[in-house]
């Protein structure tokens, strides 16, 4: 970031606006939302600014710009088309150590004016470093529809009750406020039933009891969360919420590091690697650490690339949690096969072409033997093979031996939905050679679609009288 987002304290401070036209009036309207003293410097203020001065809502200086205007100022806006005044005001504000925003002059700005969603004391500021104000306004419009008008009142209620809630255990306090802002109190408050909402919150604090305690057990809780196949925007909303609630996050090597930015800043992050061919983090160690962490009463997220229910060893982790008496949940994610198909502008199923989807793996446990991939790839089937790059030669041999067409298109997608995404297309009989030649590496998905066979145009059927139930297809003509 070229700028650092931060809210400035305005209580007991001054905001200076240099200029008297419409642009200056816009900044004054914005500043009036704060508790600052507003001082406008202009010898020709428009009617709106002059009227605000008569009402005593702002202070108007008409005798020119002086250094005294910036005394105790936290911020200055320079909103004038006069180049000489603009340069002088910018230089004077900087000499006085005041952050300055010069309208329509990003190079002269120490601070940029964001688009603001105001639910005081909840304020959302959207900045683009002065590059795309139209985009910022569009995002503001979206957020305005998402946040109920009186959300700030609920936040203010929480602020008044923070002292009473301080006696609760820190984890219980997080559970309390999570419930307040995501559960029944917020729903009641948004429906105009503010007193009921307040009573509910006060009762929960007084008795240290939440109606949703089932979801916040004293022994901790584990969420097995699918991170999606690549970029951070493919995680689900529920997955992002669980990251924000987590005390501890266990994550794999394939998880986009940007996803961790969605977590609380104070959440502990533990990298568990899972690099193929190494034993730095064997599954048993991960299971034991998750159990120990949850038993300490902490909320745990096990963040897995793709979907935790598809070749993620989630069942083994769930079994260990069950054995230890730890409550857990599955938060599904977008699996890599879906992202791989999207990368090829294709679909995993398609009416008339492929009405069956088989998800299989090319990497099994030692001693299990190789699967019969050809038994999965019947006509009308899409076969999505995970972790099969190293088994490409075996896959090719198995399919060709079963009579699968050698010229069948195979699509190999590595690092789907990431900046390093790559698609390689090859005929089946060249699968292994192409992977070696192109240097394709895991993580990758191999997609093979075998279209439905066309039925012969006409058939001759012989019915044998001695076997009335036996209809035999003799020949195609």
Separation of alpha carbons 121 and 9, rounded Å: 13
Report whether the peptide linkage leading into residue 453 is cis, meaning its omega lies within 30 degrees of zero: no
User: Minimal CA–CA distance to 52: which of 72, 71, 70, 32?
Assistant: 32
Q: Is the CB of residue 120 less than 8 Å from the CB of residue 10? A: no
Residue 324 class from Cβ within 10 Å (0-12 exposed, 13-18 middle, 19+ buried)? middle
Give catalytic status of residue 252 as yes or no: yes
For 358, the 3-state DSSP assignment is: strand
Q: Which residues pair with 425 in a beta bridge?
A: 411
Residue 247 class from Cβ within 10 Å (0-12 exposed, 13-18 middle, 19+ buried)? buried
For 39, the 3-state DSSP assignment is: strand
- Spatial strand order of the sheet with 409-414 comes to 356-361, 381-386, 444-450, 409-414, 422-427
Q: Which residues pair with 385 in a beta bridge?
A: 360, 446
Question: 153, 247, 252, 307: which one is catalytic?
Answer: 252
Separation of alpha carbons 330 and 214, rounded Å: 16
Separation of alpha carbons 274 and 73, rounded Å: 54
Separation of alpha carbons 407 and 409, rounded Å: 6
**Which pairing describes strands 409-414 and 444-450: parallel, antiparallel, or unpaired?**
antiparallel
Q: Is the CB of residue 78 less than 8 Å from the CB of residue 100? A: yes
Give catalytic status of residue 33 as yes or no: no
Question: 175, 274, 304, 307: which one is catalytic?
Answer: 274
Which residues are tagged catalytic?
Answer: 252, 274
């Amino acid at each position: 970031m070229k700028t650092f987002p931060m809210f400035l304290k305005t209580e007991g401070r001054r905001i200076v606006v240099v200029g008297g036209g419409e642009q200056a009036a816009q900044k004054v309207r914005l500043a009036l939302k704060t508790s600052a003293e507003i001082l406008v410097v202009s010898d020709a203020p428009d009617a709106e600014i002059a009227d605000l001065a008569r009402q005593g809502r702002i202070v108007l200086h008409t005798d020119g710009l002086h250094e005294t205007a910036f005394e105790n100022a936290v911020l200055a806006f320079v909103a004038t088309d006069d180049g000489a005044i603009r340069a002088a005001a910018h230089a004077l504000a900087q000499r006085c150590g005041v952050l300055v925003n010069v309208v329509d002059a990003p190079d002269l700005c120490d601070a940029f004016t964001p688009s603001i969603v105001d639910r005081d004391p909840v304020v959302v500021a959207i900045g683009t470093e002065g590059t795309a104000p139209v985009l910022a306004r569009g995002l503001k419009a979206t957020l305005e529809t998402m946040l109920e008008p009186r959300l700030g009142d609920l936040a203010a209620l929480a602020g008044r009750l923070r002292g009473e809630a301080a006696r609760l255990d820190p984890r219980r306090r997080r559970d309390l406020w999570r419930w307040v802002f995501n559960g029944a109190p917020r729903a009641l408050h948004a429906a105009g039933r503010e007193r009921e909402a307040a009573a509910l919150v006060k009762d929960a604090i007084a008795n240290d009891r939440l109606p949703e305690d089932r979801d916040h057990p004293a022994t901790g809780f584990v969420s097995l969360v699918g991170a999606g196949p690549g970029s951070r925007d493919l995680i689900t909303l529920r997955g992002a919420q669980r990251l924000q609630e987590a005390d501890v996050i266990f994550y794999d090597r394939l998880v986009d590091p940007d996803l961790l930015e969605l977590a609380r800043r104070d959440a502990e992050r533990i990298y568990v690697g899972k690099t193929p061919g190494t034993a730095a983090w064997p599954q048993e160690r991960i299971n034991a650490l998750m159990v120990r962490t949850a038993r300490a009463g902490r909320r745990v997220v096990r963040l897995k690339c793709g979907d935790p229910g598809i070749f993620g060893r989630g069942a083994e982790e769930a079994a260990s949690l069950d054995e230890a008496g730890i409550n857990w949940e599955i938060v599904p994610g977008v699996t890599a096969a879906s992202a791989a198909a999207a990368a090829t502008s294709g679909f995993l199923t398609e009416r008339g072409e492929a009405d069956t989807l088989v998800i299989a793996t090319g990497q099994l446990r030692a001693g299990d033997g190789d699967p019969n991939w050809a038994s999965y790839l019947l006509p009308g089937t899409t076969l999505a093979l995970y972790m099969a790059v190293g088994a490409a030669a075996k896959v090719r041999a198995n399919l060709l031996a079963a009579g699968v067409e050698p010229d069948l298109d195979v699509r190999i997608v590595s690092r789907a939905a990431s900046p390093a995404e790559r698609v390689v297309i090859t005929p089946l009989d060249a699968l292994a050679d192409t992977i070696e030649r192109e240097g394709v590496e895991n993580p990758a998905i191999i997609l093979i679609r075998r279209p439905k066979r066309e039925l012969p145009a006409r058939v001759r059927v012989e019915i044998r009288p001695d076997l009335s139930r036996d209809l035999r297809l003799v020949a195609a003509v």
